């Protein structure tokens, strides 16, 4: 049977909820149901809207992974890069100082 965007889901953990509500927070569940349940299908319009929700969730997930969801992704990456460069610089300075030190000579009197 084909279900439309505003139809309630007749089974499963979201039974009674509208397809549109489920798509707003768990579009993967609907994709799974369409692909795995022979008696469940969405109308072409509901598929289109569901795909839009799935794409939106994927984009939000990518943004969260990059730190953009909190608005500080660029700043964090920039600070981490600067910090890393500073650590490398300090390490090089320490190695140069160690290499330029003359070995201590012992007085053999």
Q: Which two tokens stand for residue 77?
A: 């990456």
Are 61 and 23 in contact, with CB atoms under 8 Å apart? no
* Comparison of pLDDT for 25 and 15, the residue scoring more: 15
pTM for the model: 0.54
* Comparison of pLDDT for 72 and 33, the residue scoring more: 33
Are 1 and 46 in contact, with CB atoms under 8 Å apart? no
Parse the chain into domains and list their residue ranges: 1-65, 71-101
* Comparison of pLDDT for 73 and 5, the residue scoring more: 5
pLDDT score recorded for residue 14: 93
Instruction: Dump strand ranges (E) for the chain.
Output: 2-3, 41-42
What value does the mean pLDDT take over residues 32-59? 88
Residue 44 has a CB neighbour count (10 Å cut-off) of 10
pLDDT score recorded for residue 16: 95
The sign one gets for the Cα dihedral 29, 38, 52, 21 is negative
């Amino acid at each position: 049977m084909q279900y439309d965007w505003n139809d309630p889901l007749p089974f499963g953990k979201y039974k009674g909820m509208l397809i549109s509500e489920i798509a707003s927070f768990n579009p993967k569940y609907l994709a799974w149901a369409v692909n795995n349940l022979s008696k469940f299908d969405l109308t072409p319009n509901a598929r289109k809207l569901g795909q839009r929700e799935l794409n939106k969730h994927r984009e939000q997930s990518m943004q969260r992974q990059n730190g953009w969801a909190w608005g500080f992704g660029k700043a964090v990456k920039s600070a981490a890069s600067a910090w890393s460069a500073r650590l490398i610089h300090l390490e090089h300075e320490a190695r140069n100082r160690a290499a330029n030190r003359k070995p201590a000579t012992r007085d053999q009197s």
